[in-house]
Amino acid sequence: MTPDELAPARVDLVIVGGGFTGCAAALEAARTGATVALLEAETIGHGGSGRNVGLVNAGLWLPPETVIAEMGDAPGRRLLAALSAAPGQVFDLIAREGIACEATRAGTLHLAHSAAGLRDLRERCRQGGALGAPLALLDAAEAARRTGSAAFHGALFDPRAGTVQPLAYARGLARAARAAGARLHERAPVAAIARKDSGWEVTANGTVLRADALLLATNAYHGAAAGMPRPRFTPVHYSQFATAPLPDALRARILPGGEGCWDTATVMSSFRMDRAGRLVLGGIGDVSGPGAWFHTRWARRKLRALFPELPSVPFSHHWQGRIAMTSDHIPKLLDIGPRGFAIFGYSGRGIAPGTALGTAAARALLGAGPEALPLPVRTGHSEHLPALRAAYYECGATLTHALLPLPKP
């Protein structure tokens, strides 16, 4: 996609960040007839959106009763209802805009890595069912049939969910926003943000944009800029390894139904199959950092433990991305000034929540008000020792990948 030329302008809404949240907001705003400028420091989808696992999940990592306990009854139920519907919002948007992103709505499998994990899934199933979620608890035999692996004690199936190619989805949102009239500017890092003349003044590449409303949607890839509040979160790395395309016989046995998967382990892992037949395996840890050798070795061992028939299939690609983790694992929507929001902290659940919250934020900023938001607006958020917590997560993932034996199938 060829970016638009950046020039001084007055617009209704300036968005900083070209991931799921920012692009969904730009699309919604432009479709309502608002003038929109989106500024991305790198390229669309460069950050966590393009490096995402690709699972379009409903809800958060937390069990529903924990969300309600953290947020309060009415706000918690409001957010859970919005995120229950969010996968449908994603797939409807993909269909409406004709986004080619390998969209597969075949559900997801939350896999029990142990007997304790299965007990956790049983409780999640109970809590979700009480709120009307169409979840199904699967036994070990059914989990093995659906995944092609005998390594799991059972699974929680969520038919609301699915998978996408995340970078293609982010870029598809951007193309749809541009077609609707939004102006998208890549390689445009923001240098300064200020309030001026009852609006916002945003400077990027020496060019000043003025806007009535502002949305900061940088999440875990926030850059320093004068006057721009820094979201507080713990950065956690997640790395992924893609095999070469599998032979047809193996593709027919591994995830034959097309579900996306992740497990209940504390140092969690995930896997899904892409359209070309590559198995994409992911795990917590930074494959570009000091622990790279351990994470890569773990990926090979994990693949062998899950699918013994794949020991000779090479990994053809690997990459890593940053997650903005909050201590309570609930996204944050901050009031940063008159008609100004910052959204961040998806804790690894970016696709559906980012789409839903970005869309809602655009509506709220352009006149619908706070009633359009499924998440309460806060005036601030802090995290305790985020750098130390980030080191703890990476050290824990590296030690786990280096020392702990993998379960035998």
- Domain containing residue 308: CATH number: 3.30.9.10
- What would the mean pLDDT of 283-305 be, rounded to a whole number? 93
- What would the DSSP string read from start to end of 7-43? --EEEEEEEE--SHHHHHHHHHHHHTT--EEEE-SSS
- What would the DSSP string read from start to end of 204-217? ETTEEEEEEEEEE-
pLDDT in tens, 85-121: 999 999 999 999 999 999 999 999 999 999 999 999 9
Nearest in space to 381 (alpha carbons), one of 332, 342, 339, 336: 332
- What would the DSSP string read from start to end of 41-71? SSSTTTTTTTTS--EE-SS-SS-HHHHHHHH
- Same domain (yes/no): 186, 171: yes
Nearest in space to 147 (alpha carbons), one of 53, 259, 39: 259
- Same domain (yes/no): 365, 303: no
- Same domain (yes/no): 374, 307: no
- Same domain (yes/no): 45, 191: yes
Contacts of 361 (CB under 8 A, 6+ apart): 21, 25, 215, 333, 341, 343, 373
pLDDT in tens, 206-231: 999 999 999 999 999 998 888 888 88
Average pLDDT along the chain: 94
- Same domain (yes/no): 175, 302: no
Contacts of 252 (CB under 8 A, 6+ apart): none
| Residue whose structure tokens are 């038919």 | 159
pLDDT surpassing 90 at residue 313? no
- Same domain (yes/no): 128, 208: no
pLDDT in tens, 157-185: 999 999 999 999 999 999 999 999 999 99
- Same domain (yes/no): 100, 196: yes
- Same domain (yes/no): 268, 304: yes
CA atoms within 13 A on the CB side of 296: 13
Residue type at position 315: F
Q: How confident is the model at residue 282 (pLDDT cuts 50, 70, 90)?
A: very high
- What would the mean pLDDT of 248-263 be, rounded to a whole number? 96
Q: Is 229 exposed, middle or buried (0-12, 13-18, 19+ CB in 10 A)?
A: middle
- Same domain (yes/no): 56, 102: yes
- What would the mean pLDDT of 317-343 be, rounded to a whole number? 95
Provide the terminal-to-terminal Cα distance of the chain, rounded to the nearest Å: 45
- Same domain (yes/no): 12, 134: no
- Same domain (yes/no): 249, 314: yes
| Residue 146, domain extent | 108-159+234-324+385-409
Give pLDDT, residue 29.
98
Contact 334, 246 (CB under 8 A): no
- Same domain (yes/no): 55, 131: no
Give pLDDT, residue 228.
80
How many folded domains does the chain comprise?
2
Q: What percentage of the chain exceeds 90 in pLDDT? A: 88
Beta bridge partners of 402: none
Q: How confident is the model at residue 370 (pLDDT cuts 50, 70, 90)?
A: confident
Q: What percentage of the chain exceeds 70 in pLDDT? A: 98
Q: Which CATH number does the domain housing residue 217 bear?
A: 3.50.50.60
- What would the mean pLDDT of 296-303 be, rounded to a whole number? 93
